[in-house]
Structure 1
């Protein structure tokens, strides 16, 4: 049975309590994560064969992490054991990765030190149907960007479909290149491009209506823009078959308003519109959504079922502490069922 392969930097997330409470307690909750690993763990939880390619130093801590991933049914054979350290990021509890609260400590990590011609892609891509990466990796340095290009080219040569998450982290693009200099060259090899209207504009140069750009639109206008933007992406990147967008807005002081779209075969599929009054942990929701998309494509689900499942999985992740989801398929389907009942 063929598997999904995800590729990116494994990270440790340190989540101190705000206000300095962590100092007195001498304790900071630590989570194993990284965008691509989060997607892999979701797929494994939903019984999709999945492997993860990253890099870690050869030491006891790395082995404990590998053992944990194996327990979660993630194949770790492709992890490169090299370099000196695992990357870390600090995110205060309750904060969002996209805000200024995140502090990165990723320089000179094992993953950031990877070079082209170091990974045997031909061997790794045996029995792989989908390869997933995100825009976070090429943001690290030129070597990482070159490695991503090497990987997607090898994937296409092996007949493997490619997906990309247009994650944008402004604090990471510090090596003299802008996303627009790198990402279009990678996107041309992708079968699925996931992000949002704003990321597509920033990373791929896809046009955006000025009113949309400042979050000044109705839902109907956002959906119309999703259709237009998706068609522009498909025209610009001829290998692309699917485009997915997320729409996440603040709701009250602690909640969110959330819906998603999937464009395929000249039609826009729209998920249920979820409203959550309170969020436990914002990290990893988009990764869980990505996992849901790959779950649906891997299982050849009808497109409406695919986008409904992916959106519900993302909403469910907001109720969980940590970077990766622990939801079962049944948990996600229960969210959809409850949403359907509440809309009646």
Structure 2
């Protein structure tokens, strides 16, 4: 009874090689990802037992996506198939002062057909200890929201921990429901909140600033409105330019406020999936460490993800612990 459950869309990412724009190149490379999937694979790389639930295309692309998950020992037993194509996004990777840009092609993807009756939640959660969700899934389609809600209700009924990363992206909500109302209902079934002041302002209809004092007050109000929330973890990114960022983390657990030091990332290889790496670090850390070391582990996991091409954090637990212990010189290991 120690399985981590993630539920969400599997996407294919297509990019020109290097930092080129599409108009510059006839050569592209692809990766598989998706917010919740990124979290699940990262936790599996830390040694966790993970099951990902999704709906993928019933073709060789869907077969390849499933094989990709299995390569990381992520269980695919609850993945269902659709005759619609796998969702795709196109990424042009920026550099220095030029930002990266993304275009999505997912409105009629295989995952957009997901419906509650397609997922056997009782069977899927049989070994579950932890359920992780994000605000992307309920934004994509009504079926995604309803299927997720059923899973969350059963997870809490079974006493599972539930982590929420209620990312709000206004451009995704196209099926007619009120994002704040939907996310608010889902957060009611969550115990750990992985998000910052922006997400809390959206739920609370407030305008807290990014200061530590406002973060603490926002966290307190969040816990009053959603009594099931026990802890809040926030990743803070300081952007010098597209290639150089600083990462730190902060937390409020109902009693104590803590904050890490900045980790300097002076040459970013790929920043896609770094927030997911942070969430994975928090989920993994809470099962092994105290709250402060968990926060440090999450920040270090986020930082090292910037060094890997693709959506996935390939680091194992030892790699991340080495970073949080201050080994950031990149010195050759022999």
**With structure 2 as the length reference, what TM-score do the two structures score?**
0.91
Name 1:21's counterpart in structure 2. Answer: 24
Question: In 2, Cα distance between the equivalents of 1:101 and 1:252?
Answer: 14
Question: In 1, Cα distance between the equivalents of 2:22 and 2:108?
Answer: 30
Q: Does 1:270 align with 2:273?
A: no
> Do 1:94 and 1:280's aligned partners in 2 also have CA atoms closer than 8 Å?
no
Question: In 2, Cα distance between the equivalents of 1:231 and 1:340?
Answer: 34
1:77-226 → structure 2 map (5 Å cutoff): 77-94=77-94, 101-202=101-202, 204-209=203-208, 212=209, 222-226=211-215
Structure 1: 4+ residue segments shifted above 3 A: none
User: Tell me, what secondary structure is at the counterpart of 2:201?
Assistant: helix
Question: In 1, Cα distance between the equivalents of 2:66 and 2:22?
Answer: 33
1:159 Cα deviation after fit = 2.0
1:134 Cα deviation after fit = 0.5
Question: In 1, Cα distance between the equivalents of 2:177 and 2:215?
Answer: 27
Seen in structure 2, the aligned counterparts of structure 1 residues 66 and 252 have a Cα distance that, compared at 3 Å, is: closer
Name 1:324's counterpart in structure 2. Answer: 312
Question: In 2, Cα distance between the equivalents of 1:29 and 1:178?
Answer: 37
Name 2:40's counterpart in structure 1. Answer: 40
Q: Deviations over 1:58-110 (max 9, x none)?
A: 22222222122112111111111234211111111238xxx893211002212
Question: In 1, Cα distance between the equivalents of 2:63 and 2:177?
Answer: 34
Question: In 2, Cα distance between the equivalents of 1:119 and 1:206?
Answer: 33
Q: Deviations over 1:193-248 (max 9, x none)?
A: 1111112212x125233xx2xx6xxxxxx222221111111111011111111211
Name 2:9's counterpart in structure 1. Answer: 9
Question: In 2, Cα distance between the equivalents of 1:318 and 1:125?
Answer: 32
- Choose 166-175 or 276-285, whichever is displaced more: 166-175
> Do 2:93 and 2:100's aligned partners in 1 also have CA atoms closer than 8 Å?
no
Name 1:234's counterpart in structure 2. Answer: 223
Name 1:305's counterpart in structure 2. Answer: 293
1:190 Cα deviation after fit = 0.3
Q: Structure 2: which 5+ residue stretches go unaligned?
A: 330-334
Aligned length: 323
User: Tell me, what secondary structure is at the counterpart of 1:74?
Assistant: coil
- Choose 127-136 or 242-251, whichever is displaced more: 242-251
User: Tell me, what secondary structure is at the counterpart of 1:184?
Assistant: helix
> Do 2:92 and 2:100's aligned partners in 1 also have CA atoms closer than 8 Å?
no
CA RMSD of aligned residues (A): 1.9
User: Tell me, what secondary structure is at the counterpart of 1:31?
Assistant: strand
> Do 1:5 and 1:50's aligned partners in 2 also have CA atoms closer than 8 Å?
yes
> Do 2:80 and 2:118's aligned partners in 1 also have CA atoms closer than 8 Å?
no
Name 2:332's counterpart in structure 1. Answer: none
Name 2:279's counterpart in structure 1. Answer: 290
Question: In 1, Cα distance between the equivalents of 2:55 and 2:260?
Answer: 35
Question: In 2, Cα distance between the equivalents of 1:93 and 1:257?
Answer: 18
**With structure 1 as the length reference, what TM-score do the two structures score?**
0.88
Question: In 1, Cα distance between the equivalents of 2:219 and 2:255?
Answer: 9
Seen in structure 2, the aligned counterparts of structure 1 residues 83 and 266 have a Cα distance that, compared at 3 Å, is: farther
Question: In 2, Cα distance between the equivalents of 1:81 and 1:156?
Answer: 27
Q: Structure 1: which 5+ residue stretches go unaligned?
A: 216-221
